[in-house]
Amino acid sequence: MAPKVHPADHAAARIIAAAERFEIALFRGQGVYAKAEAASLDEARTAAARLEAEAGNGKRAMIYALTAEGRSALVTPATLEAMETNPVQTYSKKFNACRAAERAGIPAERIAVTKTADGYVWRDTGPKAAATESAPAPSARAKPAPALRSEAPRRQRTDYDRLEAEAHKGLLPAPPDFSAATHARFRGKLAKLVDLAAAGDIAGLRAFEINPVSSSPRAMARYRDLCVIALEVRAEAAA
């Protein structure tokens, strides 16, 4: 009897099945990354193995599945095992995929259907996804934005390099600072991420969907992925 799929792994599996491309990154140390891209999961796994062999530092390459809508999921051993033992159902027609989603109780406005190499797959976009993760509308504060963007990448990149190195040692990162007014509408989602990290809920973190369309969601996505890395390192050490 096949093992029951955890809802978090099932949600991630649907994103992976619908992904149009994959990004692979391996931290080599001192702010240096080895990166690659792939069009399929098999190609991504091959590329990840190649990067790990070339680096030879014991670090594990991270594989991110990216859909056309901008949703992402971190590919993990648990997700791969779930996909192999409980493959995502595919359908020969888009209509059939929509009907299957409706039978699963998903409201029509939340159903997204994507065509893959094996057929059509459906995905629940989640309640309030568009409202909570849509790009902010232009405002009178648009003028100073270029100056902020020109400085932020260097500062955030340096911090992220350090934090990822610490995550590979099992250290949880500090949550991003959302005290500024521009982050106000994302504080609730960040609080949920912090709670999941504090509870050591790896599956819950992997299933937490974030559409990185602006700086706030991107910061949350980085925090979520670092927490997953740190908690998986702790779990491996405790095994």
pLDDT in tens, 139-182: 444 444 444 444 444 444 446 777 888 888 889 988 888 988 88
Ranges of beta strands (E only) in the chain are: 21-29, 32-38, 62-66, 72-75, 111-116, 119-124
* Cα→Cα distances 85→33, 122, 176, Å: 32, 19, 36
> What pLDDT, on a 0 to 100 scale, did the predictor assign at position 45?
87
Q: Which residues pair with 72 in a beta bridge?
A: 66
Among 142, 227, 135, 225, residue whose Cα is nearest residue 185: 135
> What pLDDT, on a 0 to 100 scale, did the predictor assign at position 84?
66
pLDDT: which is higher, 3 or 156:
3
Residue length of the chain: 239
Portion of the chain with pLDDT greater than 70, in percent: 76
Judge whether 24 and 62 are in contact, CB under 8 Å.
yes
Lowest mean pLDDT among 9-18, 37-46, 182-191: 9-18
C-alpha–C-alpha distance, residues 195 and 126, integer Å: 20
Lowest mean pLDDT among 37-41, 114-118, 235-239: 114-118
Q: pLDDT band for 88, please (50, 70, 90 cuts).
A: low
Judge whether 218 and 160 are in contact, CB under 8 Å.
no
Stated pTM of the model: 0.44
Judge whether 34 and 25 are in contact, CB under 8 Å.
yes
Tell me: the pLDDT tens digits for 43-80?
988 998 999 898 888 888 888 888 877 778 888 777 77
C-alpha–C-alpha distance, residues 47 and 21, integer Å: 13
Q: What DSSP string runs through 118-183?
A: TEEEEEE--TTHHHHHSPPPP-GGGTTHHHHHHHHHHHHHHHHHHHHHHHTTTPPPPPP---SGGG
> What pLDDT, on a 0 to 100 scale, did the predictor assign at position 7?
66
Portion of the chain with pLDDT greater than 90, in percent: 14
Mean pLDDT, rounded, of the chain? 77
Is the confidence at residue 198, as pLDDT, over 80?
yes
